[in-house]
């Protein structure tokens, strides 16, 4: 979670914080996912296993290679991205009386991370409380803000996958060419179209479109 910049915290600052924080978190989650799901050979005749020691099922033999060749985000990681975006929506609505998310700590991490989360929540609360930043209620205004910006936060998360995890400043042109078109996600991964595969996790009756998924009440 990004440290909040000192100084004036305006509409531009709020949007920038959400886009950059979600993108950076996605970048590190992708690095971890690849390490845990890339097969390694343990000897002649042995069954390929992932780096976490589990037997590989063939779906993610080399997540980075598949992303480069086909532009397909593994279903398991796409689900993580859905939950990550949902977490950032919860940060936005924390403290809003119109939401049931309350003030739960989304990042149960070290003290520094918790302090950063507390700081951004205070900045958000102040922003929506200031005259001119709210309409009838802060909850309603946060809802409008999310509707206007969730798409851009998601696009930043998808773009994060185009950066090389061993050299973050460098873009993987193969991945970029597969995932993006004119700087935006391919249609299959656009905010209002991207869906979870029904077989990629627990099944339910809810729509698996991202824009509906993030509206669900938090589970923890």
The pLDDT of 172-189, averaged and rounded, is: 94
The pLDDT assigned to 191 comes to 95
The pLDDT of 50-71, averaged and rounded, is: 68
Furthest-apart CA atoms within the chain: distance in Å: 69
Question: Coil, strand, or helix at residue 94?
Answer: coil
The answer on pLDDT for 27 being more than 60 is: yes
Q: Taking a C-beta distance cutoff of 8 angstroms, is the pair 16, 123 a contact?
A: no
Rounded distance between C-alpha atoms, residue 126 and residue 22, angstroms? 21
The answer on pLDDT for 129 being more than 80 is: yes
Supply the pTM of this predicted model: 0.78
The answer on pLDDT for 46 being more than 80 is: no
What is the phi/psi pair of residue 152, to 5°?
-70, -35
The residue among 174, 165, 201 whose CA lies nearest residue 78 is: 201
The pLDDT assigned to 74 comes to 94
Q: pLDDT tier at 95 (50, 70, 90 boundaries)?
A: low
Query: What does R_g of the chain's alpha carbons equal in angstroms?
Result: 19
The pLDDT assigned to 217 comes to 62
The residue among 96, 95, 117, 99 whose CA lies nearest residue 108 is: 117
Bridge partners of residue 181, in order along the sequence:
184
Helix H or strand E encompassing 50 = strand 49-50
- Looking from the CA of 59 toward its CB, the CA atoms found within 13 Å total 11
Residues in CB range of 198: below 8 A, 6 or more apart: 208
CB-based burial label for 103 (10 Å; 0-12, 13-18, 19+):
exposed
The pLDDT of 159-179, averaged and rounded, is: 95
Residues in CB range of 59: below 8 A, 6 or more apart: 74, 75, 76
Q: Taking a C-beta distance cutoff of 8 angstroms, is the pair 129, 138 a contact?
A: yes
């Amino acid at each position: 979670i990004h440290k909040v910049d000192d100084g004036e915290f305006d509409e531009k600052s709020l949007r920038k914080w959400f886009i950059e924080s979600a993108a950076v978190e996605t970048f590190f989650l992708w690095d971890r996912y690849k390490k845990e799901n890339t097969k390694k050979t343990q000897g002649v005749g042995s069954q390929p296993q992932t780096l976490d020691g589990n037997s590989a099922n063939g779906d993610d033999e080399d997540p980075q290679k598949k992303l480069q060749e086909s532009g397909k985000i593994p279903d398991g990681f796409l689900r993580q991205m859905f939950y990550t975006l949902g977490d950032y929506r919860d940060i936005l609505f924390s403290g809003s009386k119109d939401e049931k998310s309350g003030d739960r700590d989304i990042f149960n991490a070290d003290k520094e991370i918790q302090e950063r989360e507390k700081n951004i929540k205070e900045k958000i609360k102040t922003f929506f409380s200031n005259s001119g930043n709210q309409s009838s209620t802060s909850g309603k205004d946060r809802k409008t803000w999310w509707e206007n910006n969730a798409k851009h936060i998601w696009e930043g998360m998808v773009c994060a996958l185009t950066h090389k995890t061993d050299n973050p400043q460098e873009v993987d042109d193969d991945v970029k060419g597969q995932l993006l078109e004119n700087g935006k996600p391919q249609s299959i991964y656009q905010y209002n179209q991207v869906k979870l595969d029904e077989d990629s996790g627990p099944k339910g009756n809810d729509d698996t479109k991202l824009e509906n998924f993030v509206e669900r009440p938090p589970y923890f």
